[in-house]
Amino acid sequence: MVEHPRAARRYHHGNLRVALIDTAVDQARAGGAEAVVLRDAARRTGVSHNAAYRHFADRDDLLAEVSARGMAELERRMRDRLDELPGAGQGEPTARLRAVGREYVHFALAEPGLFATAFACARPEEGAAGEGAYGVLSGVLDELVATGVLPAERRPGADVTCWAGVHGFAVLCLQGPLRDLPEQQREEQLDGLLDRLARGL
């Protein structure tokens, strides 16, 4: 396997735990969740595996941190995309819903290894309300209810419907029959999906 350009880093000083997570994120980017190996992360960071085990109980402990990093990156990208749009109640009412859905798919295509690893341990119910990528989606749906675009009685379960739609599309593009689709056609299919989700709500 070809190592990520940032792999094989050497640890010199500072927070070893963070350095190990950084290295494991590189592993995930290169090969997904299966590539996250604690002993190898220690070797690439330039420390003994015994030193690594002082910070992580086992490989699953490290994987959970990488998963959290992936979800945080997804959340950051979704929020950045929203920041480029008018605030709630301005412009096309469902533009913000479409924006977070589009950014979700674009993140998956740009970072397939980290995207897959993000869901290795992540659970949407974890964390405070409004936080995380799932919280971003929920917030946008709440905005649609507040502005009268989405009837309140249709709000329950809308998160799962939207999440399943864009996640399924992303997986089809990464691993399924849409993986060889030219970019323009893929974006057209994504536009259609987001339109249908918005209209269905």
- What is the per-residue pLDDT across 136-189, written as a single tens digit (0 to 9) for each? 999 999 999 999 999 999 999 999 999 999 999 999 999 999 999 999 999 999
d(CA 143, CA 96): 9
d(CA 156, CA 165): 16
d(CA 137, CA 149): 15
> CB count, 10 Å around CB of 134?
21
d(CA 171, CA 176): 7
Q: Residue 123: left (phi > 0), alpha (psi -120 to 50), or beta?
A: beta
Which domains, from first to last, does the chain contain? 16-59 (1.10.10), 67-200 (1.10.357.10)
Question: Nearest-CA neighbor of 159 among 173, 148, 145?
Answer: 145
Q: What is the structure's pLDDT at 123?
A: 62
d(CA 192, CA 105): 13
What is the per-residue pLDDT across 65-119, written as a single tens digit (0 to 9) for each?
Answer: 999 999 999 999 999 999 999 765 566 789 999 999 999 999 999 999 999 999 9
Tokens representing 119?
């869901």
Tokens representing 22?
């950084």
Q: What is the structure's pLDDT at 140?
A: 95
Decide if 163 contacts 122 (C-beta within 8 A): no
Looking at every residue in the chain, the average pLDDT score rounds to 89
